[in-house]
Amino acid sequence: MTPSPACAEPGWTTHFALMGGEAVLRLAGCDAATAEAAAGAARDEARRIEARYSRYRAGSIVSRINAAAGSGRVIEVDEETAALLDFAARLHTESGGLFDVTSGILRQAWDFRRGEGPQTHQLGARLAALCARIGWSRVHWDGRAIALPEPGMELDFGGIGKEYAADRCAAVLVGLGLRHGWVNLGGDVRVIGPQPAGQPWRIAIRDPRHPRDPQAVAAAIDIGDGALATSGDYERFIEIDGQRFGHILDPRTGWPVRHWQSVSVQAPLCVAAGAMATVAMLQGADAPAWLNAQGVRWIGIDSLGGVHAESGPLVDTRDTASG
């Protein structure tokens, strides 16, 4: 998901690697020296969050918590981490248990980084064993310290970490006086203000199944402030016997969800938009009613390519992009 260049005013853009993907910062309404300095500060903040919360970093707080699983040791956390854990707990409750930050261990069966699926003759037993170690409701969390009660349990902020980093980047930029631009962390976009002339930025939503162009656009949303995040099956997936299995996994079964190709949500914060998009993917056919109850703008593309949206204005560019 990337902002459409057709509506972009001249500005300053930089790219950098983050969390296994590409991050893009675009700033406008300021000189290049100011933009470069501000972008450097935002980039440093994004990398700080990656170092602190990545499960792949041995020194991260997440790795420390996971290393203590089943030991009886309680790990005290700082206020920032506590806020993320409280948010994860609220998401678990509000999603009926579908959003579960202990479900990351399912990657042991589905290796989307390498594009490898499980051995089908072992799949049932493997998923059952992993699902038995999932469950936020069993985590000991008192608002200050956390303990994972069973060996092999893991905490994984993968469902909200990148989106939180986008919000933090935006906060850094605003704190430095920037008022026009956006942050795109691997497709999750946080807008910090409109274009200098006042027009919103047009944020494009990728067509998950375009047969020729992987960058083809399905729709677009105009945003002057806030965020747009997408959850889908088109960037990290495995194909087995001609069937696509995306990386959004149901913590109850261990299986990839299949109802939606993608769901995009607009919200004031990227972390909220991303969480709602993921929950919607997990909810399947119940997602539209749930998203409408949240009062957010959204667009979903179902497994057959049908486009669904709330009643707010959307710019559908599927025909143009496919032409």
> What pLDDT shows up at residue 122?
73
pLDDT for the residue 9: 45
pLDDT interval class at 121 (50, 70, 90): low
Contacts of 50 (CB under 8 A, 6+ apart): 18, 19, 57, 161, 165
User: For the ranges 39-43, 150-154, 237-241, which has the lowest average pLDDT?
Assistant: 237-241
Q: How many Å apart are CA 214 and CA 206, to the nearest integer?
A: 8
* Residues, the chain: 323
Please give the radius of gyration of the chain, using alpha carbons only, rounded to the nearest integer: 20
Which stretches of 54-192 are DSSP H helices? 61-67, 79-94, 123-131, 161-175
pLDDT at 7: 34
**pLDDT tens-digit series, residues 43-87:** 999 999 999 999 989 999 999 999 999 999 999 999 999 999 999
Pairing verdict, β 201-206 and 243-246: unpaired
Residues of the chain with CATH 3.10.520.10: 5-51+160-322
CATH code given to domain 61-147: 1.10.3980.10
Task: Check if CATH label 3.40.50.1100 holds for domain 5-51+160-322.
Answer: no
- How far does CA 155 lie from the centroid of its chain? 16
Q: Where in the chain is the domain with CATH 1.10.3980.10?
A: 61-147
Residue found under tokens 């005290």: 76
Q: What pLDDT shows up at residue 6?
A: 32
Buried b (16+ CB within 10 A) or exposed e, 231-266: bbbbbbbbeeeeebbbbbbbbeebebbbbbbbbbbb
Show the DSSP H helices in the chain as ranges. 32-53, 61-67, 79-94, 123-131, 161-175, 270-283, 287-294, 318-322
Instruction: With beta carbons less than 8 A apart as the criterion, state whether 270 and 252 touch.
Output: no
d(CA 52, CA 87): 17
